[in-house]
């Protein structure tokens, strides 16, 4: 795979790309809130090599950290179209993890003719549990740890990985193979290392996945084949994934184009970084 710049108005974004073999098809992969293209590494390792891949560093993250705004979900969804156009592709399987779920749902809503299938990986449906929950407090709790990491300085690369080893979602599930995905955000700066990401981009998208009406309604309105994966445990290994199980069940019952898969003993992070990657790859791999 190689990094390829894709032109967008005012600049470029980066994608991690490999072409497909013959008519094997292509999958577009969109990462989560403060992740990057390499968070898909374990998933990619479980996909057939014949499948083409376009893994985005969305605006403000990874090698797209300096990409121009706007950073809203609709603009990033349109970046998927730009990627397909760049590589001369009419349609693709499009998968979104966490924040990426809302992005690919918007893409499927706006560009259904460019979609072969959608895969929503613990993302895409409303996450506020009830109308009485205070959105601002929820947003602060969700985005706070990511912004804190952006402010940190790490003496060595290993100190950075020690940070992740101690993360409550990973401490009991750590594998050195996770370094590939997590380390893509690390950059040397004088006598230390720091995280390469744009705080404004993270804040904008965190707000939109929480309160934006179109983004939260998109998945329920999809008219393309869609598979939703939800998990038993959340971002700190607490009970309950990003998308509540009851929300997922109700969505599958209401939309005949949507299928739902529930994975036990997997949390929101290990879903793509760890043992859940094989399940995600199975959902993405084109049939036949």
CATH class of 2-284: alpha beta
What pTM does this model have?
A: 0.95
218 neighbors 108 (Cβ within 8 angstroms): yes
Domain map of the chain by residue range? 2-284
Q: State the pLDDT at residue 233.
A: 95
C-alpha to C-alpha distance for 178 and 277, rounded to whole angstroms:
11
pLDDT tens digits, one per residue of 247-268: 999 999 999 999 999 999 999 9
Q: State the pLDDT at residue 137.
A: 76
Among left, alpha and beta (phi > 0; psi -120 to 50; other), residue 93 is beta
Q: State the pLDDT at residue 148.
A: 87
- What DSSP element (H or E) covers 75? helix 73-86
pLDDT tens digits, one per residue of 25-72: 999 999 999 999 999 999 999 999 999 999 999 999 999 999 999 999
Q: State the pLDDT at residue 286.
A: 61
Among left, alpha and beta (phi > 0; psi -120 to 50; other), residue 127 is alpha
Q: State the pLDDT at residue 130.
A: 57
Q: DSSP string covering 90-157, please?
A: S-EEEEEETHHHHHHHHHHHH-GGGEEEEEEES-SS----STTS-HHHHHHHHHHHHHHHHH--BSSH
Q: State the pLDDT at residue 128.
A: 72
Q: Which residues of the chain are modeled with pLDDT < 50?
A: 131-132, 288
Q: State the pLDDT at residue 288.
A: 46
Q: 28: burial class by Cβ within 10 Å (0-12, 13-18, 19+)?
A: buried
Q: State the pLDDT at residue 287.
A: 56
């Amino acid at each position: 795979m190689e990094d390829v710049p894709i032109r967008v108005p005012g600049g470029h974004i980066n994608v991690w790309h490999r072409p497909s073999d013959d008519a094997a098809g292509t999958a577009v992969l969109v990462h989560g809130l403060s992740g990057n293209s390499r968070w898909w590494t374990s998933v990619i390792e479980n996909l057939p090599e014949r499948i083409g891949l376009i893994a985005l560093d969305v605006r403000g993250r990874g090698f797209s950290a300096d990409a121009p705004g706007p950073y809203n979900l609709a603009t990033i969804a349109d970046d998927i179209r730009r990627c397909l156009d760049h590589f001369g592709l009419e349609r693709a399987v499009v998968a979104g993890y966490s924040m990426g779920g809302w992005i690919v749902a918007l893409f499927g809503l706006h560009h259904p003719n460019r979609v072969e299938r959608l895969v929503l990986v613990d993302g895409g449906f409303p996450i506020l549990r009830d109308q009485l929950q205070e959105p601002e407090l929820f947003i602060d709790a969700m985005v706070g740890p990511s912004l804190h990491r952006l402010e940190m300085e790490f003496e060595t690369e290993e100190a950075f990985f020690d940070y992740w080893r101690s993360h409550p979602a990973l401490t009991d599930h750590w594998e050195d193979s996770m370094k590939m995905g997590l380390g893509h955000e690390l950059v040397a700066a004088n006598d230390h290392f720091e995280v390469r990401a744009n705080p404004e981009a993270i804040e904008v998208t965190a707000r939109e996945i929480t309160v934006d009406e179109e983004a939260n309604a998109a998945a329920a309105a999809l008219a393309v084949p869609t598979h939703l994966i939800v998990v038993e445990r959340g971002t700190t290994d607490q009970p309950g994934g990003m998308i509540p199980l009851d929300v997922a069940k109700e969505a599958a019952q209401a939309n005949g184009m949507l299928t739902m898969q529930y994975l036990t003993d997997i949390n929101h992070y290990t879903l793509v970084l760890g043992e859940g990657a094989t399940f995600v790859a199975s959902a993405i791999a084109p049939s036949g």
